[in-house]
Amino acid sequence: MRRRPLVALSVALGAAALTLGLTGCDSLRAGASPELPLWKYRPSGSLSVVYKKQIVAEMRKVGEPYERGQPEIDARNRRLFVGSSDRGLYAIRAATGEVLWRFETLGFVQCAPLYDAAEDVVYFGSNDGALYKVKAATGELIWRFSTNAEVARRPVLERGVVYAVNANDTVVALEAKTGKLIWSQHRTPALGMEVAGYSGPLVWRGKLFVGFSDGTVTAFDAKRGDEIWQPVDLAAEAEQRQGEIPTYLDVDTTPVPDTIEAGAVVYVGSYAGGVWALDADSGTPVWSNPAVEGVSELTLWTEPAHPPRDGKGPNIPEKKLLLAATGTTGLWALDPETGRDEWRRSLPDGGISAPVAVRGALLVNTSKLGVFLLSPTDGSVIDGIHMVDGSSHTPAAHGNRAFVVSNHGDLLSLHIAGPTGR
């Protein structure tokens, strides 16, 4: 059976810095303290609310009271595309929150949509098991392909081919123009329990990389679908270390590409086996950090080389961190070269989204508390906004603007001030 929802995972209480950020935040829900301005008790004022709009229809809500996925930003046309628990995909005017159109499916839309500017279309998956292509201007259906299991990870578009993974450990490659199947690969799901969520596809260097619920990671030829790697069994590594078969085997993180001194690698996270860097050509492990248990999302954060703030001396070199969001051991920052811990922050009860880079900081949602702006250097809280119902959505950001969907179905448009406040 699949263990759901992700927010039910047990985690430790938050660190003191995060607690301070929360107690300084006013609630966004009506009735909490409506007479107080939003900035009244917030620590730095780096986050401010531009608008809040209810976009999910109360009468159409079905099942769990959580909104998942991530908004997709079309910056040129100033639109957002957002999936919802009311079984719809919404197109929204970014400046005002006005709903432009809504496309109905037969299941929750927990998938982060993919916007293609070249065709002005949107690709997205639904829990009804289908992958959709619709016109971005009108929401008109172009094609629908049934994969026979929920599609909740963002698809990938590469050279006229759309790649997607479903909850039944099936990978499909479709002709983007017609939705015709080019190839598919299926791996028998693991027996027993697995954690909510699963890997999405990474297409890089002519290969498609993906993780499966049985704890393996592999690479396929992106054109033909042939298996290139011998599957790397991260669950077996965890079993050898622990002396018993792990309760949860999953590799739920979408692989992340990078080039380090050792060469081209992909980073993957095993729920029981920690975080790994695998050689992109062979799958050979480059390093692993088994302490990072419960990982659900990986993000590579990069700060470009830049002159010192006072303008004196040589440039500060580029800095990279591999960020691992977990439901059990907190938020981690790892050295991409070695996998060594740079810092770790405990988290409050509930889940945490993938960190999103914005204005030199990191924006994260917590499933029971709200949205927070963190320092990439040590994970300390810069600012935060408390939402009574929390948010299970991953934020989306462009420039100094970010968008968050609460578990209540509210869309929040946020302004993020830079370090100088300007």
Q: Which amino acid is at 31?
A: G
Q: The tokens of 216 are what? A: 């393996």
Phi and psi torsions of 44, nearest 5°: -130, -20
d(CA 256, CA 16): 31
Report the pLDDT value the prediction gives residue 197, as an integer from 0 to 100: 60
Report the pLDDT value the prediction gives residue 41, as an integer from 0 to 100: 40
Label residue 245 by pLDDT band (50, 70, 90).
Answer: low
H helix intervals, 195-298: 234-242
Report the pLDDT value the prediction gives residue 64, as an integer from 0 to 100: 62
Decide if pLDDT at 399 tops 60: yes
Q: Is residue 261 part of a domain?
A: yes
* Proportion of the chain in helix, strand, coil states, percent, rounded to 5: 5, 40, 50
Q: How far is CA 268 from CA 97, 174, 287, 295, 302, in A?
A: 36, 25, 11, 9, 18
d(CA 388, CA 105): 29
- 275: nearest Cα among 229, 321, 310: 321
Q: Is residue 300 part of a domain?
A: yes
Report the pLDDT value the prediction gives residue 159, as an integer from 0 to 100: 96
- 186: nearest Cα among 214, 207, 162, 152: 214
Q: Is residue 369 part of a domain?
A: yes
Q: Is residue 421 part of a domain?
A: no
Decide if pLDDT at 30 tops 50: no
DSSP states of 356-401: EEETTEEEEEETTTEEEEE-TTT--EEEEEE-TT---SPPEEETTE
- 130: nearest Cα among 113, 112, 107: 107
Label residue 106 by pLDDT band (50, 70, 90).
Answer: very high
Report the pLDDT value the prediction gives residue 28, as an integer from 0 to 100: 36
For the stretch 117-152, pLDDT in tens is: 999 999 999 999 999 999 999 999 999 999 999 999
Q: Is residue 398 part of a domain?
A: yes
Tell me what the mean pLDDT of segment 396-400 comes to. 94
Tell me what the mean pLDDT of segment 395-422 comes to. 86
Q: Is residue 24 part of a domain?
A: yes
d(CA 80, CA 239): 43
Specify the range with the lowest mean pLDDT, choosing from 12-16, 73-77, 140-144.
12-16
Tell me what the mean pLDDT of segment 42-53 comes to. 80
Label residue 13 by pLDDT band (50, 70, 90).
Answer: very low
Q: Is residue 283 part of a domain?
A: yes
How many folded domains does the chain comprise? Answer: 1
Decide if pLDDT at 39 tops 50: no
Enclosing domain of residue 402: 2-416
Query: Residue 106 class from Cβ within 10 Å (0-12 exposed, 13-18 middle, 19+ buried)?
Result: exposed
Decide if pLDDT at 60 tops 80: no
**CATH number of residue 324's parent domain:** 2.130.10.10
Specify the range with the lowest mean pLDDT, choosing from 70-84, 242-256, 272-286, 392-406.
242-256
CB burial string 374-391: b at 16+ within 10 A, e below: bebeebbbbbbbbbbbbb
Q: How many Cβ atoms are within 10 Å of 372's Cβ, its own excluded?
A: 26
Specify the range with the lowest mean pLDDT, choosing from 53-67, 112-126, 174-188, 322-336.
53-67
Q: Is residue 422 part of a domain?
A: no
The model's pTM:
0.85
Report the pLDDT value the prediction gives residue 366, as an integer from 0 to 100: 86
